[in-house]
Amino acid sequence: MKDAYIVSAVRTPGCKRAKGALKDTLPLDLISFILKSSVAKVPQLDPNDIDDVMVGCAFPEAEQGLNIGRNASKIAGFPDKVSGATVNRFCASGLEAIADAAMRIMCGWSEVTIGAGVESMTYVPMGGNLPRPYPDAEKKEIDLFMSMGTTAENVAKRYNISRQQQDEFAYNSQMKAVNAQKNGLFAEIVPTPAAKYVTQADGTVKRETFLQSFDDGVREETTLEGLGKLRPAFSLTGSVTAGNSSQTTDGAAATVLMSGDKVKALGIKPLAKLKLYTTIGCRSDEMGVGPRYAIPKLLQLAGLTVDDIGVWEINEAFASQALYCIRELGLEKYMDRININGGAIALGHPLGCTGAKLAATLVTNMRARGAKYGVESMCIGGGMGAAALFELCD
């Protein structure tokens, strides 16, 4: 099997749903821009050599519908011959897209592919525009359609994750993100054109654009006292709040992958390899525990242990589930390696984009720290976990 080399991994900023800088920017504009930017990072690459573009999207409908993977490729200016598809594994969609793109190279089917992800939670809300859950409440499978917040409450209650622990975790996520912004550590971000509608003196409305260069959901003013005053969001007697949950966010990210032969032919120094990817199922009503099972499966396949991993990106869908997974995996001794620039509680969780977003962040942080191995993992709505192993190139 061939190696799949990452030669570019970038993302847009993540911005708050309905209130942030990207609220008026179409998801097609977001993903087409970051696709084009990912290729521009590799000046030796002729877009004619791109074989296929896989785009993750958790709710591929409305402005994100009609095969956004293909449409974004065309709007990015790629040639007609570059095909595209849309991939949906809910919260792991962006990572699934990268894995699918990598597998084409590993199998020898392609020389150059792109894996990407996009979600505008402003344009297409959580659950989609017309959700239709399974109607038979007597069946056990109704858990598949449970609110993600309720599953986070289940994890907190079943596995004794306290409100204080969740708030402390959320506070640390915010502070790490604040530090990263102040010190320019988000090198994977590409300043992104954003739209806004401005009322003119004559009463007409004009569409204008500006460059957005930072994640706008980071809250420097966060305090433990403030977090402690927030009401539970999903249960009157619960512990999961808006402050210790991930933010609903707009964003896009893309990764360019190449075969070893193509890397050599173009004289490109690759950033990393995608070594392994795996998924696993778990109980739907506690979907947040997914990484606790996906990561051991991944490490067993790789012949590695948690001690071998230099950088982790474990998606913070909710503090309760992230804390549970970290505890059960024996990672508490490595907190300085986990989400080192903050996680989704501070930076947002743009659903179908997140897997691709975390890949760009992980590769950037691996290179900054010189970490040989990095792991990305997340829980997935419906009761699953996904995990991927990346290896740094010398």
CB 340 within 8 A of CB 176: yes
- The tokens describing 187, both together, are 């090198």
Q: How far apart are CA 121 and CA 295, in angstroms?
A: 28
Catalytic hit among 57, 325, 353, 379:
379
| Secondary structure, 3-state, the chain | CCCEEEEEEEECCCEECCCCCCCCCCHHHHHHHHHHHHHHCCCCCCHHHCCEEEEECCCCCHHHCCCHHHHHHHHCCCCCCCEEEEECCHHHHHHHHHHHHHHHHHCCCCCEEEEEEEEECCCCCCCCCCCCCCCCCCCHHHHHHCCHHHHHHHHHHHCCCCHHHHHHHHHHHHHHHHHHHHCCCCCCECCEEEEEEEECCCCCEEEEEEEECCCCCCCCCCCHHHHHCCCECCCCCCCCECCCECCCEEEEEEEEEEEHHHHHHHCCCCCEEEEEEEEEECCHHHHHHHHHHHHHHHHHHHCCCHHHCCEEEECCCEHHHHHHHHHHCCCHHHHHHECCCCCHHHHCCCHHHHHHHHHHHHHHHHHHHCCCEEEEEEEECCCEEEEEEEEECC
Catalytic hit among 15, 57, 91, 393:
91
Verify whether residue 349 is a known catalytic residue: yes
Q: Given phi > 0 = left and psi -120 to 50 = alpha, else beta, which region is 339?
A: left
Terminal Cα-to-Cα distance of the chain (whole angstroms): 21
CB 357 within 8 A of CB 251: yes
Verify whether residue 91 is a known catalytic residue: yes
Instruction: Using alpha carbons, select from 285, 275, 248, 283 the residue that is nearest to residue 387.
Output: 275
Catalytic hit among 325, 349, 353, 393:
349
Rounded to 5 degrees, what are φ and ψ at 50? -75, 130
Q: How far apart are CA 57 and CA 78, in angstroms?
A: 20
Please list the active-site residues: 91, 349, 379
